[in-house]
Amino acid sequence: MEKPKFYLGSHVGMNAANNYLLGSALETIENGANTLMFFTGAPQNTRRTETSKLNIKEFKQTLIDNNIDIDKVICHGPYTINLANTVKQDTFDLGVRLLKEELLRLEEIGVHTLVLHPGAAVGAPRALALESVAKGLNVVYKELPNTPVRVALETMSGKGTEVCITFEEIKSVLDLVEAKDKVGVCFDTCHMHDAGYDVKNNFDKVVEEFDKIVGLDKLMAIHLNDSKNPISNHKDRHENIGYGYIGFDSLAKVVHNPLFKEIPIVLETPWIDGKVSPYKIEIEMIKNNTFTNPFKDKEIK
């Protein structure tokens, strides 16, 4: 089979009503995608369904039958993990426990990349919070030295006291991580734009800067999102592709850039009126490299 030009998909559901992971795979296929991202449970809480109930075997077979490489599938870690918190020891300890549990679940599922929000300093010095992120990762990987599951730290917008909003902050964490081959980065185009990086007009320069400071070999995944806000607003409000302040052409160029041909790229754009998934249409537009203004009631920035 011919190798795809890029790996493009979206966040998909993973719940009992849709047969768990089997439903995730079928939703991906319906969207015309060749990769996907899912949560292993509700991202805002700690409850998780036993892996034996997730239809893992059917999930894997469906991916194989539809030529979707499971090595390009990614998972998003729960929002309840905050390894940057040095103010409350209980919060840090909970984050370590949940992260370890997520890695073990993903081992069973067969998905080996977990995207993780680095967390927030919540009043502590940023340097201390960044050290804490690395400390938490080091604890987890010391307890699971043989896990094949990697963690991709997500670039953040700078909302509140979030850390890892600059490449320098990400580098400071990676420098302290002991399992060098297990931890990397996930670009989020909305977050980077909101943090002040010029994704719209000069993404090549942004990538060059990342490569110089961190290294492109550390890039494991990309979240492709437009932004509802102008650059440097630190808001973290995703917009549909082509309707925000980054724009369709700049985001499509990210997907079609040969530099990222082996990197899974997933959409996390909002549903239309909170009811209708945009992903099939957005994926088709990006594949065709043509903006068709499909959601005509939405204002184009």
Mean of the per-residue pLDDT values of the chain? 97
pLDDT tens digits, one per residue of 72-128: 999 999 999 999 999 999 999 999 999 999 999 999 999 999 999 999 999 999 999
Any binding-site annotation on 236? yes
Any binding-site annotation on 191? yes
Would you say 83 and 138 are in contact if contact means Cβ atoms under 8 Å apart?
Answer: no
Q: Which residue type occupies 90? A: D
Structural domains in the chain plus CATH codes? 7-288 (3.20.20.150)
Averaged pLDDT for residues 158-187 = 98
What percentage of the chain carries pLDDT values higher than 70? 100
Any binding-site annotation on 234? no
Count the helix, strand and coil residues of the chain and give each as a percent rounded to the nearest 5.
40, 15, 45
Residue 282 CA: distances (Å) to CA of 1, 32, 141, 144, 299: 25, 10, 37, 38, 16
Any binding-site annotation on 117? yes
Question: Is the pLDDT assigned to residue 160 strictly greater than 70?
Answer: yes
Sign of CA dihedral 215, 221, 226, 229: negative
Q: How far apart are the first and last CA of the chain?
A: 40
E strands, 171-300, in order: 183-188, 219-224, 226-227, 238-239, 264-267
Would you say 270 and 236 are in contact if contact means Cβ atoms under 8 Å apart?
Answer: no
Any binding-site annotation on 273? no
Give the burial string for 149-188 (b: 16+ CB within 10 Å, else e): bbbbbbbbbbbeebbbbbbebbbbbbebbebeebbbbbbb
Any binding-site annotation on 76? yes
Quick one: pLDDT band at residue 1, thresholds 50, 70, 90?
low
Would you say 89 and 132 are in contact if contact means Cβ atoms under 8 Å apart?
Answer: no
pLDDT of residue 44: 86
d(CA 129, CA 120): 7
- Token pair 């490489």 in the structure block, residue: 69
